[in-house]
Structure 1
Amino acid sequence: MGSEDNVTRLVRAETSCLVREALAAKKREGVRLGRPSRITPEALGKVRDLRDRGLTLQAIANELNSLGTLTASGRVGCWGTSSVQSALETERLNREAQAAADR
């Protein structure tokens, strides 16, 4: 049974290597990996604009809540600092993916 275990380990290692290489190639092509974001481009634009104006994460959340901006989960009035931070990260990743695709 020891040789079967060794073969299994080798197959797993080979598969892991191939998957890592394929994902790295997709990332170089500008493909966003992972679950797609459900936040709207309009909401991302508002978050980026408010942050560029120097507002804190809490101030941005307050503003988005007062404007009735939908969160990624489709709710109104539920923006918090973590959802604002997540939106900023999504926006950054989108920019990086676009830059990679444009190369």
Structure 2
Amino acid sequence: LLRKSLAARPDLRVLILDPHNEFAASLPEHCVRVDSTTLDLPFWMFKLEEFAEVLFRGRETVPEEVDALRDLIPAAKNLYRNPNSGTYLRRGSDA
């Protein structure tokens, strides 16, 4: 079914969650495999609490650290979107 669909519509994009790697093995010429080593998610897509959990790896967060993240994440996002803005993130500065 997938082969026929792709033959009829070469521009078709299909997302399959394939935990056992069955589809990737049977359709290698059409497959783009994404795993934990190739998945690159922007840090600002996470909620603040989720990002802190990943960053601090489960240890108890300090409120001042969360407050710093609350300020730094929007500044980093802006810097990512506008790399030539002349803005720099420095310790002890307002961004």
Work out whether the TM-score is over 0.5: no
Q: Which has the higher contact order (CA 8 A, sep 6+)?
A: 1
TM-score under structure 2 normalisation? 0.32
The structure with more helix, counted as a fraction of residues: 1
